[in-house]
Structure 1
Amino acid sequence: MKKLLALLVLLISWPSWSADQISTGIFSNKAVSGYDSVAYFTEGKPVEGDSKWQVEYQGADWYFSSQENLDKFKADPEAYAPQYGGYCAWAVSAKNDFASSDPEQWAIVDGKLYLNYNEDVKKLWDNDRAGHIKKADVNWPNLIK
């Protein structure tokens, strides 16, 4: 009976967790797994953020590697936040579903940051970035209703 109850609680709470607009860990409220989303644009690589430079945005905690990057994000968060709330771009496109992302599997396309689940999934996404972006842009609004 306890196992059944635990499974029921998990199933009931999963959709509400999945519907968060920003991807965060189950036991964390860090967006982009605590990586500095501005650094992808300014340094061309993923850089871990620090809790001394953080801000709350769309219900998640965003960490940065410097005061300068924090200030850039605060001035224009939409320019630096990853697309689809930081969820896997391929999953939003191909599966019309949520999946976590790895901050090491990223791309900037037309000035926007996209993250993917892992290296293999990123390769699938890379095969048709424009097609996946077009499809995910249609799927995303319905996923976060």
Structure 2
Amino acid sequence: MKKLLFIITILCTLSVFSQRESKRMTHFNLEKNVAIQGYDPVAYFKQGKAVKGKKEITASHEGVVYYFSMPVNKEYFLKNPSKFEPQYGGWCAFAMGDSNEKVSINPETFKINNGKLYLFYNAFFNNTLKSWNKEETGLMMKADTNWSKRIK
């Protein structure tokens, strides 16, 4: 009887984790399950710039795959994944705050504020980072609210 209860508990736990991973993946900005178009999330913080990751150096956090430019960045990430993940699932921070929309990003257009990575759309003469900077506090509050409603 104890074995049966143990097995049921394990299966339920795995099911909950699987559902959370699946839900997370539906909300993240991914291309073939890879976040940030293959850019290294740690490089934004440690190198201060966007650096393309390598397919050979990968790690996954709750179903979302990240590429890294060097093994040490992967190690940093694995110690504290949530510290390095982009805000709002890697969608454009400005669009999330301004209109609650999931808009693609240019991984080379970013900002780090209070230890968090924000990514922005930047194409066709429309750099949303500039607009974000004009109203950052208000847009961030709206984006935080909009994102938390999406991922519930």
Distance 2:30 2:89 in 1: 9
Say if 2:107 is the partner of 1:100: no
Do the aligned partners of 2:41 and 2:84 also contact (CA within 8 Å) in 1?
Answer: yes
Say if 2:137 is the partner of 1:130: yes
The TM-score normalised by the length of structure 2 is 0.78
1:85 alignment partner in structure 2: 89
Which structure has more strand as a fraction of its residues? 2
Distance 1:120 1:54 in 2: 29
Q: What one-letter code is carried by the residue in structure 1 that aligns with 2:133? A: D
Which segments of 5 or more consecutive residues in structure 1 lack a partner in the other structure?
Answer: 1-16
Distance 2:45 2:99 in 1: 28
Moved segments of 4+, more than 4 Å: none
SS in 2 for 1:20: helix
Distance 2:151 2:114 in 1: 23
1:58-102 Cα offsets, whole Å, 9 max, x none, are: 322100011100011011011101111111101110111211111
- Deviation at residue 20 of structure 1 after TM alignment: 1.9
Do the aligned partners of 1:93 and 1:139 also contact (CA within 8 Å) in 2?
Answer: yes
Q: What one-letter code is carried by the residue in structure 2 that aligns with 1:69? A: N
Q: What one-letter code is carried by the residue in structure 2 that aligns with 1:34? A: G
Distance 2:104 2:141 in 1: 20
Q: CA RMSD in A?
A: 2.0
Rg larger for: 2
1:44 alignment partner in structure 2: 48
Matches within 5 A, 1:1-145: 20-25=26-31, 28-118=32-122, 120-145=127-152
Which segments of 5 or more consecutive residues in structure 2 lack a partner in the other structure?
Answer: 1-22
1:98-122 Cα offsets, whole Å, 9 max, x none, are: 1111101100011100001115212
How many pairs align? 128
Do the aligned partners of 1:32 and 1:86 also contact (CA within 8 Å) in 2?
Answer: yes
Overall identity of the aligned pairs, in %: 40
